């Protein structure tokens, strides 16, 4: 494990996020001490294909998580980042993140080790993230974005019944000319989520509304 300080001494972060679980995943809040695992995950070029087009450096991963654990987390509202474990093995991270300029929305995200791909784990964890976001009565809408060419990720968002609402080019991306690298945005409103849950509960009375 690589020990690297994520945050400055002037940025204490008191995590009060809950631990969550799904059928196969134990999800626990990301802590500063997890940076080694996150660096390992970001060092796999396959994992990073649709994110940076290459493995991230330690410095980039440190900067990424400094921002995620401060500006993009709000433990008091139950919003932030979770590591996922299947049978005690680290499989990746999921988020229901906080975005201060739009306090009525939460961002859903995920990044899994390749060994975890293709078994529905991303969708399973992301569904828990949607539930966690809407557990905050102030959240009206969940949002997610991915690259147009990230078919697996788009499929996850479609399986969550999220709607593709926007396409844009991310400034600063040096691959702008290829539409595969356009950013696509997906949304799910609280009302649509409630309807979806009612339908699931009717189809399977064992599932709580
Ligand atoms: C995107 C990612 C989270 C998907 O994880 P996953 O566990 O494979 O996702 P799931 O198994 O829940 O669903 C994947 C879906 O894509 C489909 N899929 C799998 N391989 C595919 C491929 N090569 N092309 C198209 N679709 C594919 C699967 O069939 C599945 O859909 P289905 O259930 O309808 O059959 C994972 O690949 C990942 O972490 N990638 C790297 C990080 C990343 O890109 N994160 C998203 C950035 S926004």
Question: Burial of 153 by CB count in 10 Å (0-12 exposed, 13-18 middle, 19+ buried)?
Answer: buried
Percent of the chain that is helix, strand, coil (3-state, to 5): 35, 25, 40
Please check whether residue 4 lies inside any domain of the structure: no
Please check whether residue 14 lies inside any domain of the structure: no
Other C-beta atoms lying within 10 Å of the C-beta of residue 188? 22
Please check whether residue 62 lies inside any domain of the structure: yes
* Ligand 1 pocket at CB < 6 A: 47, 50-51, 92, 110-112, 116-123, 146, 150-153, 155-156
| Choice from 45, 152, 154 to test ligand 1 binding pocket (greatest atom count within 8 A of CB) | 152
Q: What is the 11 CA–ligand 1 centroid distance (Å)?
A: 35
Please check whether residue 8 lies inside any domain of the structure: no
Please check whether residue 78 lies inside any domain of the structure: yes
Q: What is the 79 CA–ligand 1 centroid distance (Å)?
A: 24
Strands 105-112 and 141-147: parallel
Please check whether residue 149 lies inside any domain of the structure: yes
| Digit-coded pLDDT (tens) for 109-147 | 999 999 999 999 999 999 999 999 999 999 999 999 999
Which pLDDT score, from 0 to 100, does residue 4 have?
Answer: 39
What residue has token string 């990746």? 92
- Give the model's confidence band at 17: pLDDT under 50 very low, under 70 low, under 90 confident, else very high: very high
For the entire predicted model, the pTM comes to 0.89
Strand-pair partners of 73? none
Which pLDDT score, from 0 to 100, does residue 170 have?
Answer: 73
State how many domains the chain has: 1
Please check whether residue 208 lies inside any domain of the structure: no
Query: Which residue's alpha carbon is nearest to atom 1 within ligand 1?
Result: 153
Which pLDDT score, from 0 to 100, does residue 5 have?
Answer: 44
Decide if pLDDT at 31 tops 90. yes
Please check whether residue 177 lies inside any domain of the structure: yes
- Structural domain of 164: 20-203
CATH number of the domain residue 40 falls in: 3.40.630.30
Nearest-angstrom CA–CA distance, 11 and 129? 25
């Amino acid at each position: 494990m690589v020990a690297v300080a994520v945050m400055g001494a002037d940025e204490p972060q008191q995590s009060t996020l809950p631990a969550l679980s799904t059928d196969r995943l134990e999800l626990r809040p990301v802590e500063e001490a997890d940076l080694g695992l996150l660096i390992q995950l970001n060092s796999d070029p396959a994992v990073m294909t649709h994110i940076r087009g290459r493995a991230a450096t330690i410095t980039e991963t440190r900067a990424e998580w400094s921002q995620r654990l401060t500006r993009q987390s709000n433990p008091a509202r139950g919003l932030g980042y979770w590591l996922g474990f299947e049978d005690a093995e680290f499989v990746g991270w999921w988020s229901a993140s906080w975005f201060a300029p739009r306090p009525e929305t939460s961002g859903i995200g995920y990044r899994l080790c390749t060994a975890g791909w293709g078994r529905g784990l991303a969708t399973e964890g992301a569904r828990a993230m949607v539930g966690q976001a809407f557990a905050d009565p102030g959240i009206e809408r969940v949002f997610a974005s991915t690259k147009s060419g990230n078919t697996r990720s788009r499929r996850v968002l479609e399986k969550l019944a999220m709607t593709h609402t926007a396409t844009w080019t991310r400034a600063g991306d040096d691959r702008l000319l290829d539409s595969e690298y356009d950013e696509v945005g997906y949304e799910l409103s609280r009302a649509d989520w409630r309807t979806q849950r009612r339908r699931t509960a009717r189809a399977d009375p064992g599932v709580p509304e």
